[in-house]
Amino acid sequence: MNRQQFLQSFILQPARPAALLQIKQSKAAAVLIVLRDYQGELQLLLTKRSSELRHHPGQISFPGGKIEAHEQSHQAALRETFEETGIAPEQLDLIGQLPGYATGTGFFIQPWIALLTCDVELKLQSSEVESAFWLPLSFVIDPQNTHSEHFAMHGQSHLVHFIPYGPHLIWGATAAILYSLKQQLVFHQSPQSL
């Protein structure tokens, strides 16, 4: 899937006013799904969190973090992306938002999607990001690459998605957001293929 196909297929989601989010500001977070067109194929940026971090150390994630009191969720996603990867807001075309995701640890994540408008050299903030890699969107879309299981947590059953990619295991909120992205793309295929 290339840039033009993605733009034609993605179902745009309206922004949700922060006032509608019944969650403490300290638990509100935003992430950015950064897409680049690489040799005619879209890839998305994932980072491996530093093992020194208090929350989710060593896990695969999107650039992002806490929404500060003075900013909207998309501003937080862009700011955190710049801080963690060196990708500046002016190098991105913000195109939409996915539905928010509530984690089992009490965070509410608001995912945004942006397309890179130029080639970039990543400048990772080592205190937060151990490494980064580009994941082909076609890999995410292929149903054979996602494994899902039900787990009991707080007395309820939760569906958890797992996406192994090379040496990386993508799971938890990141895999759930990727699954949501896949569901927001319109394909001329049967529903079972998603």
Domains and CATH numbers, the chain: 3-13+27-187 (3.90.79.10)
CA distance 116 to 135: 14
Q: For 55, how many CA atoms within 13 A lie in the half-sphere containing its CB?
A: 13
Q: What pLDDT was estimated at residue 68? A: 92
- Please list the ranges in the chain whose pLDDT falls under 50: 14-23, 188-194
Nearest to 183 by CA among 102, 69, 101, 99: 99
**pLDDT number for residue 80:** 96
Q: Which amino acid would we find at residue 82? A: F
pLDDT tens-digit readout, 136-161: 999 999 989 988 787 776 676 677 88
By three-state DSSP, how is residue 164 classified? strand
- Write the CA distances from 30 to 140, 148, 177, integer angstroms: 21, 24, 12
Quote the pLDDT of residue 57: 58
